[in-house]
Amino acid sequence: MADPFEVRMRFTNQLRQLNASVTSAQKAAQFALKNREWAEDLHSCILEQLERNNMNTRANIMYFIEHFLDLATSHGHVEYVKMMQRDIIRVVDAVAPDDGSGAANVRVVRKVLQALQSKSFLDRQAVSQIEEVLKDRDTAAEEDVAMMGSPADGDMMDLGDMPPSQTLPPHSRRGNAPPKLDRKQVEQRIEEDRERHKRLREGIWAVPSGDYAEMDKLWEETSDLGEDDHVMGEEEWLEWKEVAENSCPHRREAAANGKHAG
């Protein structure tokens, strides 16, 4: 591992191959922590890859950053955290560029920023400033909605893996179509988002700590008594009755006889 070039290469590859799985992020993060003597280099790797890859990979790297900083802090390697704090604006610009090409990533950026703030990797002020910028970009998107999309119909198909858009002129709605994801990438992104969502949901079973936490949670999640509860109650009652009547031949017979006798 002594070769810094090799370390760079390998980390770059890992960043490119990030996906929605936790293991891929953990692998890259552990690699970076293990080679922290080149922390500066590896950090620049992250920025570089953020600006060079498609929007899917950028989103994946964004999610990775949260994971990575978590791990770095827990191992006491604050240099990574500090570098990230310094360059966070650049990261956000790369993941959700203001030309509209990264509109689909705005949501990702928001989510990760909030998480970073809640873990005190970023201060509140920085986050709110970034939020302001994002809101602008979002607003732009909303105007777009009102217009029902740009007329350039087929363009979005062919602009897959475009180089970073930093140098491109800001997106004008009437101008060139932004380098949107192609179909394949859209589908990949959908799958990755679903995967992430699934992992998110894995936590819903966790019981919060505290004396009455579980009870409170149940109480919170239980619906009010509704008509469906009565429907269910009636069904259960009928079922119970039927079972009771058929539970034993005598009863069955008695029931039958009763009918005849009646």
Partner 1 sequence: MTARGGFRGGFNAPLQPGYPGGNRSYSQSSGHGTPNSSYHGSPPVQSPYGGSGRGWSGQQQYSPQSQYPYPHGNYGPPTGPQGQYHSNQAHSPPYPPNGPSSQYSSGPYRGGHRGGSNSFRGGQFGSSRGGHRGNFRNTVWNANAQGNNGRNQVGLSEEAESQHANTHTSPNSHADSAQEPEDVTMDDIDNPFRPSKDLQVEDTSKSEQATDEQMPPPDRPAATESQSQTPNKFSFSMKNASKPVVAVPRPEISLKFNAAPPSRESPQKAPEKNSPKVDRDRDRDRERGGFPKNVPTEPASARARPNERRQPEQSRQPDAAPRTRRVKKIMKRLKEKPVLPPDLARSKSVFFRKPGNESVVGSGTYGKVFKGLNVYTKKLVALKRIRMEGERDGFPVTAVREIKLLRSLSHKNIVNLQEVMVETNECFMVFEYLSHDLTGLLNHPNYSLKPAHKKHLAQQLFEGLEYLHTRGVLHRDIKAANILVSSEGILKIADFGLARFYAKHHQLDYTNRVITIWYRSPELLLGETQYGPAVDIWSAACVLVEILTKRAIFPGDGSEISQLEKIHSILGTPNRTDWPNLIEMPWFELLRPGYRKPNVFAEKYKEQVTPAAFELLASMFHYDPDKRPTAAEVLNHPYFTTEEPASQQAFELKDLDGDWHEFESKALRRENEKKEKEARRAQKEATVVIARDKDRKRPNEAKDVTLREAKRPHVELENTNQQRTESSSHEAQQQLPSQASHTLTNNTKQPAAAVPLDAQAPAKP
For residue 108, with 0-12 CB atoms within 10 Å meaning exposed, 13-18 middle and 19 or more buried, which class applies?
A: buried
For the CB of residue 112, give the shortest distance to partner 1 in the complex, in Å.
15
Cβ atoms of 18 and 57 within 8 Å: the answer is yes
Residue 42 near residue 7 (C-beta atoms within 8 A): yes
CA distance 123 to 116: 9
- Please report, as residue ranges, which positions from 96 to 115 form the binding site for partner 1 (by CB under 8 A): 103-104, 106-107
Contact 62, 95 (CB under 8 A): yes
Contacts 24+ apart (CB under 8 A), 228-231: none
Q: Is 3 in the site for partner 1 (CB under 8 A)?
A: no
d(CA 23, CA 112): 18
95 binds partner 1, rule: CB under 8 A: no
Whether the Cβ atoms of residue 161 and residue 49 lie closer than 8 Å to each other:
no
According to CB under 8 A, which one of 79, 123, 158, 239 is a site residue for partner 1? 239
Instruction: Identify which of residues 37 and 237 has a Cβ nearer to partner 1 in the complex.
Output: 237
Q: Using the minimum distance from each CB to partner 1, give the nearer residue, 82 or 107.
A: 107
Give the binding range for partner 1 (CB under 8 A) out of 29-37, 75-83, 162-170, 225-233.
225-233
User: Could you say which of 6, 79, 158, 187 contacts partner 1 (CB under 8 A)?
Assistant: 187
Q: Is 142 in the site for partner 1 (CB under 8 A)?
A: yes
Tokens of 24: 């891929």
Range in contact with partner 1 (rule: CB under 8 A) among 8-16, 19-27, 80-88, 178-186: 178-186
Residue 172 beta carbon to partner 1: minimum distance, rounded to whole angstroms: 15
How far is the C-alpha of 104 from the C-alpha of 57, rounded, in Å?
A: 12
Q: Which of 153, 206, 207, 211 binds partner 1 (CB under 8 A)?
A: 153
By CB under 8 A, residue 207 contacts partner 1:
no
Which residues, at least 6 apart from 72, have a Cβ–Cβ distance to it below 8 Å? 29, 32, 33, 78, 80, 81
Nearer CB in complex with partner 1: 119/198: 198
Interface positions with partner 1 (CB under 8 A):
103-104, 106-107, 141-142, 144-156, 177, 180-181, 183, 186-187, 189-190, 193-194, 197-198, 200-201, 204, 221, 223-224, 226-228, 231-232, 235, 239, 249-250, 252-253, 256-257, 260
